[in-house]
Amino acid sequence: MEFRDEGYIIKMRKHGETGLILTLICRARGKVTGYVRHGLSKKNLSTFQLGNLLEFDAFSRVDDNMLTLRPELKTSFAAHFLSDAGRLRGLSSFCALADACMPELQSLENFYAYVDDFFNLIDEDNWVTYYSYFEYYLLDFLGIGLDLSACAVTGTTENLAYVSPKSGKAVCAEVGFPYRNRLYLYPHYILNGSKTPSAGEVSDLLDMTEFFLRKNFFATHNLKFPQCRANLAAIVKQEPSSGLA
């Protein structure tokens, strides 16, 4: 096997004295894990940082063997995260979810756009909004997307206001209001493509995506939900750098 691709570093671990095993998230090949010879040498310290975008050649003599990578730094994003505690928490959460949920060596196709947005727009004041798009469409990518086209009870497409945690379907305002404390807010800003939601909208969206990721992916695959993601919604409420009112 031999190919060339580019991707963001989402995981690193030492191998031997100076070797490094990298996991990257890529458009054409999904999650790619491979060995980098001398990856821990001093000259490579700035290259191999979580979040950096690398171009690389990958090859293995036998398809079942671990890939060997020959990477070059394309864009350094690490400093954009390291200088801000909130953004660093966002990166940790992104990396943990991508590592757990992304398939090995399978194209991400259109979903990769939300990966790109998270990194390329990380300096925007509303970076948490772009992160929330990643999580919402991750549900769809995993095949556990929500059915928000019409009210699950009445069938109406008007005045949709809530999402049922039980069914993952929309609920209209009239039906859902008495049970509003047990329902999630309908994610109007996501479906309308808005990048200026309120802090409450983003916080509720992250609570909702966490619930469905736990229930429909991590639990069914007997995986532990990443601790670094569990408290991410607190950023929206506590971090001024989230840029949300």
pLDDT, one tens digit per residue, over 80-92 is: 998 888 899 999 9
Helix boundaries (H) for 102-233 = 112-120, 127-141, 173-176, 188-192, 199-213, 227-230
Amino acid in the structure at residue 154: T
Three-state secondary structure of 62-74: CCCCCEEEEEEEE
Mean pLDDT over residues 126-132, rounded? 94
Q: Count CB-CB contacts under 10 A for residue 169.
A: 17
Place of tokens 């209209």: 172
Gap between the Cα atoms of 53 and 74, Å rounded:
6
pLDDT score recorded for residue 45:
81
Mean pLDDT over residues 119-147, rounded? 95
What band does 239 get if pLDDT is binned at 50, 70 and 90? Answer: low
Gap between the Cα atoms of 120 and 75, Å rounded:
10
Sign of CA dihedral 121, 47, 92, 5: positive
pLDDT at 240 over 50: no
pLDDT score recorded for residue 113:
96
Mean pLDDT over residues 40-60, rounded? 89
CATH 1.20.1440 residue window(s) in the chain: 80-242
Q: Which CATH class is domain 2-76?
A: mainly beta
pLDDT at 129 over 50: yes
Amino acid in the structure at residue 92: S
The CA-atom distances, in angstroms, between 244 and each of 37, 97, 177, 231 are 43, 23, 26, 17
Three-state secondary structure of 86-123: HHHHHHHHHHHHHHHHCCECCCCHHHHHHHHHHHHCCC
The CA-atom distances, in angstroms, between 154 and each of 122, 160, 174, 175 are 40, 11, 10, 8
Share of the chain above pLDDT 70, in %: 94
Task: Look at strands 184-185 and 147-151 and give their pairing.
Answer: unpaired
Taking only the tens place, the pLDDT of each residue in 12-41 is 999 888 889 999 999 899 999 999 988 888
Half-sphere exposure of 118 (CA within 13 A, CB side): 32
Read off φ and ψ for residue 132, nearest 5 degrees: -65, -35
What band does 241 get if pLDDT is binned at 50, 70 and 90? Answer: very low
Q: Tell me 16's DSSP state.
A: T
pLDDT score recorded for residue 237:
65
Mean pLDDT over residues 127-139, rounded? 96
What band does 238 get if pLDDT is binned at 50, 70 and 90? Answer: low
Task: Look at strands 30-36 and 53-59 and give their pairing.
Answer: unpaired
Mean pLDDT of the chain: 91
Q: Tell me 217's DSSP state.
A: I
Share of the chain above pLDDT 90, in %: 77
pLDDT at 243 over 80: no
Taking only the tens place, the pLDDT of each residue in 173-201 is 999 999 999 999 999 999 999 999 998 89
Q: Which fold has domain 80-242?
A: de novo design (two linked rop proteins) (1.20.1440)
